[in-house]
Chain A
Amino acid sequence: DAKTTQPNSMESNEEEPVHLPCNHSTISGTDYIHWYRQLPSQGPEYVIHGLTSNVNNRMASLAIAEDRKSSTLILHRATLRDAAVYYCILRDVGTYKYIFGTGTRLKVLA
């Protein structure tokens, strides 16, 4: 199963953009890149996913490197409600498994 590497923690100031990096050097051609976040005492919540092209939705943007070996989740204006653990996950087309790592704990400073 392909693996992802993320920094353990990051800090951001409120209302500033946040770039959360993820390395996935062993990604295969059919792996989707998913991002979820988990607020305290809640289950994970879907943020965004992509395969090859950059993606935007109301929550965030996903920038995928041309070689697909890394990606960046972009929160355009961080709010206090964005403080959470962010997981970058590869999902294999064949097995459909999500392999969660330990994620990045984002702290947003007022």
Chain B
Amino acid sequence: EAGVVQSPRYKIIEKKQPVAFWCNPISGHNTLYWYRQNLGQGPELLIRYENEEAVDDSQLPKDRFSAERLKGVDSTLKIQPAELGDSAVYLCASSFSGGAGEEQFFGPGTRLTVL
């Protein structure tokens, strides 16, 4: 069974440019998460979807970050415009129903470098 797929794996952009990350979760998983991981830190949740609905976006910087999950499957996370401090690894994860006792499956992440 295929795992969580993310693309691109690496992205280098100049500040003020837009950037987008794509995630394809495991088939049948209704819950999708986007995390940001700064160097030397644990992942930090940005947004959680249940099907198409963003049920927790309290940590998403809404002035420059946006996300969508059309049709409740694939998801895209966008940053516009990017800032130097956005350099990080962006991780996507999915789970079947999002229950507290449930395992999350993570993708390999997209490493973003903003110059």
**Complex alpha-carbon distance, A87 and B100, angstroms:** 16
- CB distance B107 to A91 under 8 Å? no
Chain B at the A interface: SS class: loop
- CB distance B106 to A43 under 8 Å? yes
Q: How far is the CB of B89 from chain A (nearest CB, A)?
A: 9
Interface range, B side: 20 to 34
**Complex alpha-carbon distance, A31 and B100, angstroms:** 8
Chain B 80-111 interface residues, beta-carbon cutoff 8 Å to A: 91, 93, 98-101, 103-109
Residues of B near A101 (CB, < 8 A) are 42
**Complex alpha-carbon distance, A101 and B42, angstroms:** 5
The verdict on B13 contacting chain A, using a C-beta distance below 8 Å, is: no
Of the listed residues B48, B101, B108, the one surrounded by the most CB atoms of chain A closer than 10 A to its CB is: B101
Residues of A near B4 (CB, < 8 A) are 43
- Count of A residues near B, CB < 8 Å? 23
- CB distance A98 to B45 under 8 Å? yes
Residues of B near A92 (CB, < 8 A) are 100
Chain A 36-92 interface residues, beta-carbon cutoff 8 Å to B: 41-46, 49, 51, 87, 91-92
- CB distance A30 to B42 under 8 Å? no
Given contacts A43-B108, A43-B109, contact A103 B103 (CB under 8 A): no
Q: How far is the CB of A35 from chain B (nearest CB, A)?
A: 11
- CB distance B100 to A32 under 8 Å? yes
- CB distance A44 to B100 under 8 Å? no
Contact with A along B38-51 (1 / 0, CB 8 A): 00111111001000
User: Which B residues are within 8 Å of any A CB, using their own CB?
Assistant: 4, 40-45, 48, 56, 91, 93, 98-101, 103-109
